[in-house]
Structure formats: structure tokens, C-alpha cells
Amino acid sequence: MFFKHLMNNKIYGIISILGFSFSLMIVILAGVYVQKEYNVDHFHINKDRIFRVSYDDDYSGFAPPFGSLLKDNFPEIECFTRVYEGNEYVSFSADKKFKIDYLMVDSDFFKIFTYRFIKGNVNNVLNTKMSIVLTKSYALKLFGTLPEIGQQININDYYNYTLEGIIEDTSEPSHFRKVDAYVNFVSLGEQWNWENMESNYDNNSFGLYIMEKPHMDITLKNKEILKLFTKVSWLYQKGYANEVIFEPLTSVYFSKSMSPGTKQNSKILLKVLSTIVGLIVVLSMLNYINLTIAQSSIRCKQMAIKKIMGLKRWKLAGQYIIESFIITFFAYIIALILSFYAEPIFNIFLNTKLNLINSINIFFTIKSLFLILSISVICGIITALSITNFNLISILKGTFRRKSKGIYLKVLIGFQYIIIISLIICSLFIQKQTSFLRNYNLGFNKTNILSIENNAIDGDHRDAFKQILQKIPGVIHVCFVAGSPLDSGNNNSFTYNNKPLSFQTFKVDTSFFKMMGIEVIPTGVAYSDSIMWLNETAIKTMELPKIPLSARFYSKEVPVYGVVKDFHFSNLKTKIGPANFRLLGQNDNAWSILIKISSENTVSTVNKINKAFADFTDNTPIDITFMDEAIDKWYNQEEKIGTMINYLTIITIIISAMGLFAMSLFYVEQKTKEIGIRKVNGAKIGEILLLLNMSFLKWIFIAFILAIPIAFISIHKWLESFAFKTNLSWWIFAVSGLLALSIALLTISWQSWKAATRNPVEALRYE
């Protein structure tokens, strides 16, 4: 009987199944993605005993001696590893060089974290100072086949590392960035010519992980550890760090604090995605319940006769649960098929790789069945409770059709539109904020500027290479720097007037400010090798005159050559901090080469720069970044959230519009006789349209009023994370309301127009 009912009421069946199909497709894709993100680092065998040491800051770095300090003083700690990231090049032969991304780690790294060794022994690798472990894919890239242990690998034409192991490339999700190799952390002292590295607390740039012994709890020792750290480190003595936090390994991926070699994701993104997906499922369920209740006038006599014949209410509820299960089951099969087609789009959209086919297992099947049963039971019970409450006498008298327009149907439609309008408002505001961030004047020129990562050209050869680049048509300026707006420079801290100060330090050559279009006010101080520039925030922080002639840094008076107008050297989530600029010395390492090029023949110019770099450095791999593109990536997460809400809003609108269309169809059918009588008595088409539409539109208006505070609170909370933000414009609320109203009018007006223009004689004859 139910299948016969579906065949006779195709719109009801199609809309119910399609609504569930689209929503369940999103549930499947989002569910796999969210589960994957929450499973980051869960593959490590000792995950419950591993912690990253951090403190309450955006960056948690420690000096090299902290690891051994902890292990030597606290028996709860079994082992530790320090982590630092590097990217250089490997000299494979006279004419072949390969870029290599690596992590510098201690020998216990592979005892702490779980990786499978193809060659080498986990207990013996990285025990010698100049040792290295390669991934399988990188070893094959270098040698074509897996090399033997003991193979020499030359990095940067200078450092020879001995191969001690090869590990399998892991596809398991990890908070560590994917790298090509792991080298002994102690070799950093060799690279930096840092003799007392193991006992020096000056440089706090390194990640620190510990593994506690079984059945121990290192977090109970926090106060003792904080006291010890304060004794030995200026970082704690001067108040830059005030606590010691042991972050469980499985929480590091969602931490607010960065450390070398790691990547992060936002729990906010996952919560937003999960919430919207949940709302979409709720909307689909509401659609189904609405349509089923509206359709009940067609099947009411069947239900009434069953009740009169003694069928229990719970058996009627069971009938509706079974019907819901049939609809949901078929919808889920369609959704699963659609998911495979939508997976590539979803991967691009969230910059991930789902591997949906690999996710289908016994647990996936159990979860799917639980989801189908849950939806079926909820929809079936709510529908049954509503329909079985109808008066049997009114049904048998034939007056049920006039009474079946129950207010709860309109309330459910209103609830749907609260969700839709809230999503539209949030979507428009996120787009406005993202546009604001991308178009905000950062205080420097970012257009047509290239940044080349420099690990091959030292101070003795910089001028020669600069001259070669300046001869290339289209190259306007060339500048070597150690610190730029892309990397925020180097952080230096010192005490000034008995207060701790944290400065960003940039080492630049004299063409930097002109190239970047940064305004500088000269102080009149004579030019020398010891000069520096201060930004406006630094001058205010140090309480100096507006045009200072000198400033005290590390107990030394340094001449100030110019005042730099404030510019943003970090994203707009943070305020502009104090910065100083020094001259890049010949012995200083230039991290980057900045090149300003013409907007004409860009591709040709970049190709010539590529060739010049390759020729000058004997084919050293080059890494070129367009500055404006790199800055745009600062806001990838915000754009990702905005795009996600946009797409899900569209799907939500489609699902709700389908339900509203079907509801308007049944509502108009119930009004057929009334419309005919009104037209016979002289009612105009416009009056009929107003009568039919107002019944829906008043609930949409109420939904708009209720959606405004919900969306306002949500957006205001989200904007709190930005130091610079757009205004909460009133027109976005108005546009969202008008858009929702337009969608509703377009959805229901076609049926209303058909009913209003029908010949009243036909309508009365039909009745």
C-alpha cells in the first residue's frame, strides 16, 4: 500500500528521497572528513604517553638543554626529542641537486613515534652526530633503488650525512608536516657553528616532545618544572612564558600554539561543519515530516478504519517508522553513490584526501545503519504522534481536509527558514570579512614581488648575483633579506627599563624600503654599518621621541637612521608589534631574495630568473613564491569556512525549497473550493495570491526576526579572533531577509498563480 501511495504521489516520493539523499551525501563526506581529522596521530602506539611541551603563546619553542633538563630531574620521563625543520638541497652528482625537506630530531624520536623501518634498526638510528634517515619515496627519488645503510648524502655541498635508516612513507594522518628525511638534531650545532648548543638557553626556537613512563603522570609535576625552568631560562625569568603545558599528542593538531615542523587545523572549522551538517539532516527530516503530515489527508480514511478496527496506536507508529526506514534506506543508497562523484570536489574544497572507498568497513556500515534507523525512528514517531491525534469523526465526515493545515506545519517551515536566514547572514558576513582581509592596506607593496628561498648564495656572491638579475628585462629591484612580511622576521627579546620587550628583527639591504613602498622618515643620523630603523609601534613601546636619534638595545645605544611607518608583517588576526631593521652584513645569512618585477611578460621574466639562479648555483632547486599569493594564503582557513558555509547554505536552500514547494502544492489543493467561491464572489487574482502566499510568508517573517540575533551573536563571536575586522553592516541582514523572501515567493508563487487563475467553475466541479 505504501509503494502504491508513492507511485500515486510522485512529487511526495521524489522530494522526500532527494532531500534525504543530498543531506546524507553531505553527512557521509563530512563524517569521513571529521573522523579523519579527529584521528590525527592516533596511529602512534604510545600516543597516550606522548606530550608536546608548550606554554601559552602562539609559538611554543624551547632552548636545546630543556629536554635533558627534564629527563635528568624527573624520573617520570622516559625519553625526549627536540624538533626543528629545515629545507636545503642534496648534491647527488655534479649536475643534479634535489630539494630536501627534513626534521632535525633526537635519536629517541623513532622510539617515541611509530614509523615502520624498511632498513635500519629503530634502536640504532641517529646515534651518530652526522646521521640521517630517509623516507622510502625520497630514497627512490635520489637513487632509483633503495640504497644500503652507510651511504653518504651531501647537503648544501658542505655537510656529509651517513644514511642509517629508511622508513616507509606513512599515509596515516599526523600533525607533523610531510618531510623527506630526519637528521640528527645535534648536527644543528655543526650547521650553525654553535659550539655550546647543548647548554645554551638563549635560542628558544625548537619544539620539545617527551614520553612519560607507563603509569606515570608528568602533569602532576607542573609546579616543580615551572620553578626549575624559571631558575635556568630568561624566557621564564622575564615573563615571556609563565607556565608549562603538557599537551597530549592527540590534541597538538588542534592547538593554538605552533612549533617547528607542525601543521594545524581548527576545531572551530570541524564544529561549524558538523553543526551545519546536523542542521541539513534536521531540515530533511522536517521536510519529510511536513510532507507526510500534509499527505495524511489522502490516507486518513485508511488510518481511521484501522483504528476503528482496533489497531493499536503503537502499531500505527510502527507502520510509519517502517515507511520512514524505506525512504531513508533508498535515499542513503543514492547518497552513497553521489558521495563518490562529489568526493573530488570535497577534497579540493577542504584540501584533504578522503579515500572514501577505504573508509567503507564494518564500522562504517554499523554507523550507517545506526544513522538510518535513528532518522527512521524519529521521523516515524513524530509523524505517527501527529497523525494519530487527528479526530476520527472529522476524518469519516470528510471535514479533515479543512483541519489538516495544522499550525505545527507552519512552525516547522518557520524553523527551517530560521536556519536558512542565519546561514545566509553568516555566509555574507564571512565573505565580507575575507574580502576585507584580502584588500586591506598592509602598509607595503605586495604586487609583482617574488620571494626566493635562499640556501645557496652566501654573502661573498650576493652582489654578483644581484647584478645578473638586474640585467634581466622586467626585473626592477633586487633585495637580499633575513626576514620579510612573509616570515615575520626573527623574534628577539630583551629587558628595557625593567620591562620585558619582544621585537621582530629584520635584516635588510638599503633597497628594501624602496622596493616594498614602505614610507621611512629620516632622522638625520649619519649613515654607518651600525644603524637601525624602528617602526612607529617600537617608538611608542619604548616611549621614545617621535624622531629618535638613538635607542638602547641590549645595554647598547644604537643610532636610529629612520622611523618606519607601521606595516603589517603578520596576518590581521594580530596587532602590529614593535620591529627594528638592521643592515644585512656580509657574514649574515640571507634567508630570502626579494625581486620586484614588471607586470608585463611576467612568465618570461620568471623563467629567466629561474635560469639565472640555476646557472649561478649549479642547478640548485629554486622555490619561488609570489608575495601577494602567499599573503592571500594567510586567510585560507577563513575562506575555507566561508566557502563551506556557502555551499552548505545552497544545499540547505534547495532542500527547504523542495519541501516548501510540495507543501504549497498540498496547501493549494486544500484551498481549491475556497478559491473557487472567492472568485465567484468577485475576488481578484492579486487578492487570491495574497491570501495563499501570506499563510507562508508571515512565518518566514517571524523566522527572519528570530534569525537576526542568532546570526549576530555567531558572527560577533567569530570576529573576536581578528584584531582588524569589518563592520557588522545592517544591509547584510536586510539582503538576507529579502533573499530568503524571494526564494520562498519563487517556490510557492507558481502553485499560487495556477490556483488563482483557474476557472472557478472547474474548481467547484472538482470539489
Q: What is the pLDDT of residues 188-216, one digit of tens each?
A: 998 888 888 999 998 899 999 999 999 99
What pLDDT shows up at residue 224? Answer: 94
Instruction: Find, among 490, 575, 41, the residue nearest to 264 by Cα.
Output: 41
Backbone angles phi, psi at 579, to 5 degrees: -145, 145
Is the distance from CB of 84 to CB of 261 less than 8 angstroms? yes
Helices then strands, counting H and E runs in the chain, come out as 26, 21
Range among 195-204, 292-301, 631-640, 675-684 with highest mean pLDDT value? 195-204
pLDDT beyond 60 at 767? no
Is the distance from CB of 17 to CB of 330 less than 8 angstroms? yes
- Higher-confidence residue of 393 and 180: namely 180
Instruction: Find, among 161, 212, 187, the residue nearest to 64 by Cα.
Output: 187
- Chain-centroid distance of CA 442 in Å reads 23
Residues 343 and 337: their CA atoms lie apart, in Å, by 10
pTM here?
0.80
- Report residue 65's pLDDT band, with 50, 70 and 90 as the boundaries: very high
Q: What is the pLDDT of residues 396-432, one digit of tens each?
A: 555 554 444 456 667 777 888 888 898 889 888 888 8
Lowest mean pLDDT among 233-247, 251-265, 318-332: 318-332
Q: What is the pLDDT of residues 655-689, one digit of tens each?
A: 777 777 766 766 676 676 777 777 777 777 777 77
What pLDDT shows up at residue 545? Answer: 92
- What percentage of residues in the chain have a pLDDT greater than 70? 89
Residues 499 and 578: their CA atoms lie apart, in Å, by 14
Under DSSP, the state recorded for 148 is: P
DSSP 354-400: --HHHH-SHHHHHHHHHHHHHHHHHHHHHHHHHHTTS-HHHHHHT-H
What pLDDT shows up at residue 251? Answer: 93
Instruction: Find, among 657, 667, 680, the residue nearest to 744 by Cα.
Output: 657
Residues 132 and 162: their CA atoms lie apart, in Å, by 6
Q: What is the pLDDT of residues 503-518, one digit of tens each?
A: 899 999 888 999 999 9
Residues 584-600, mean pLDDT to the nearest whole number: 90
Residues 642-665, mean pLDDT to the nearest whole number: 78
* Helix/strand/coil for 531: coil
Instruction: Find, among 752, 136, 36, 763, the residue nearest to 347 by Cα.
Output: 36
Task: Name residue 322's amino acid.
Answer: I
Q: What is the pLDDT of residues 428-447, one digit of tens each?
A: 888 888 888 888 889 999 99
Instruction: Find, among 244, 320, 311, the residue nearest to 288 by Cα.
Output: 320
Count of CB atoms situated within 10 Å of the CB of 619: 17
Task: Name residue 329's amino acid.
Answer: F
Q: What is the pLDDT of residues 165-189, one digit of tens each?
A: 999 998 888 999 999 999 999 999 9
Residues 556-583, mean pLDDT to the nearest whole number: 91
Lowest mean pLDDT among 36-45, 117-126, 639-648: 639-648
- Report residue 84's pLDDT band, with 50, 70 and 90 as the boundaries: very high
Sequence-distant (≥ 6) Cβ neighbours of residue 96 within 8 angstroms: 619
Task: State whether the Cα torsion 428-429-430-432 is positive or negative.
Answer: positive
Residues 301 and 298: their CA atoms lie apart, in Å, by 8
- Report residue 262's pLDDT band, with 50, 70 and 90 as the boundaries: very high
Phi-psi region of 150 (alpha: psi -120 to 50; beta: other; left: phi over 0): left
Residues 225 and 75: their CA atoms lie apart, in Å, by 12
Residues 44 and 51: their CA atoms lie apart, in Å, by 12
Q: Count Cβ atoms within 10 A of the Cβ of residue 421 and give its class: 0-12 exposed, 13-18 middle, 19 or more buried.
A: buried
